[in-house]
């Protein structure tokens, strides 16, 4: 089988890290996600994944975050018969296949063209699914997504790579474009940004994370139309029950130390009203 060759730029590198984490998790027993498509995908890519610093010990932690966003996605779709899902910074995550939405859901994955080129080579086509090759900070992608349905925006592993102003502008554009929906994303605080940047500097020669969010309700001050409804520590989320026992014990201990508890948060915002849709 001919393998896809990749160039390890910033966007591609971070996409490979998360894909490899899902693949490692899929090959563990028990598995948090059970993402066999991710496990099959890494066999199609010509790259030494061991260079990325993702290990079997770390993989379940990353998988728990992803599972939480999968569950929020399923929850949204369960309450909206017809909907649009936009996965921002989708990378090489096969979320649309894990969630497997019904035919009345239109799904869009947005990421850089070189990343989507690899996606197209390692994942199959499916109906009601489209990729948009564009930076998430470029407003052009919004015009390519219809705004006539309740819309779910999924932005896992994205905000911390943006500059704060870029992030604020992105979310303002979203509420301007779509009349009604939900935004789900995760945040890193200053401690997490500092620690992750050490590893990213080793891999890519420079720190890549910029936006440290200490208050997950920050966006309410950016645009009054955004309403924060849920804030969940990643390692204390319901999905974390699938983590190894030692990790669960550590998570319970660190919940009393805010800087550690809030290193990674899953956040959900609502915007607009149904009668605007």
Query: What does 111-123 look like in DSSP terms, one character per residue?
Result: E-HHHHHHHHHHS
Q: Say whether 44 sits in a helix, a strand or coil.
A: coil
**267 and 184 in contact (C-beta within 8 Å)?**
yes
**Structural domain contains residue 230:** yes
Each residue's pLDDT tens digit in the chain (277 positions)? 568 877 667 678 889 999 999 999 999 988 999 999 999 999 999 888 888 889 998 898 889 999 999 999 999 999 998 999 999 999 999 999 999 999 999 999 999 999 999 999 999 999 999 999 999 999 999 999 999 999 999 999 999 999 999 999 999 999 999 999 999 999 999 999 999 999 899 888 899 999 999 999 999 999 999 999 999 998 888 887 777 777 778 778 878 888 888 999 999 999 997 654 4
**Structural domain contains residue 24:** no
**Structural domain contains residue 106:** yes
Q: What are the residue ranges of helices labelled H in 90-186?
A: 95-99, 113-122, 164-177
**CATH number for position 119:** 3.40.50.150
Domain total of the chain: 1
Bridging pattern class, strands 180-188 and 264-272:
antiparallel
Q: What is the DSSP string of 175-230?
A: HHH-SEEEEEEEEE-HHHHHHHHHHHHHHHSS-------SSTTHHHHH-TTEEEEE
Range of the domain at 237: 64-276
Q: What is the pTM of this model?
A: 0.93
């Amino acid at each position: 089988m001919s393998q896809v060759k990749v160039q390890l730029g910033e966007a591609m590198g971070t996409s490979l890290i998360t894909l490899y984490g899902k693949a490692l998790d899929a090959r563990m027993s028990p598995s948090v996600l059970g993402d066999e498509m991710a496990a099959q995908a890494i066999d199609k890519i010509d790259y030494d994944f061991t260079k990325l610093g993702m290990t079997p010990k770390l993989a379940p932690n990353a998988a728990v975050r992803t599972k939480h966003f999968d569950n929020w996605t399923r929850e949204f779709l369960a309450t909206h018969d017809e909907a649009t899902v936009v996965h921002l910074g989708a990378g090489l995550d096969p979320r649309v296949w894990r969630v497997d939405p019904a035919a009345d859901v239109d799904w869009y994955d947005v990421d850089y063209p070189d990343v989507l080129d690899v996606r197209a080579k390692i994942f199959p086509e499916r109906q009601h699914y489209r990729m948009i090759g564009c930076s998430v900070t470029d407003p052009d992608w919004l015009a390519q997504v219809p705004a006539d349905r309740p819309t779910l925006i999924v932005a896992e592993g994205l905000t911390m790579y943006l500059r704060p102003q870029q992030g604020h502008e992105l979310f303002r554009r979203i509420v301007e474009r779509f009349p009604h929906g939900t935004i789900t994303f995760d945040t890193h605080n200053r401690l997490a940004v500092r620690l992750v940047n050490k590893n990213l500097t080793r891999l890519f020669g420079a720190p890549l994370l910029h936006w440290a969010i200490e208050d997950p309700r920050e966006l309410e001050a950016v645009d009054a139309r955004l309403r924060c409804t849920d804030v969940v520590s990643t390692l204390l989320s319901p999905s974390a029950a699938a983590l190894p026992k030692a990790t669960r014990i550590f998570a319970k201990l660190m919940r009393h130390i805010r800087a550690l508890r809030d290193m990674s948060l899953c956040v959900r915002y609502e915007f607009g009203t149904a009668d605007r849709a």
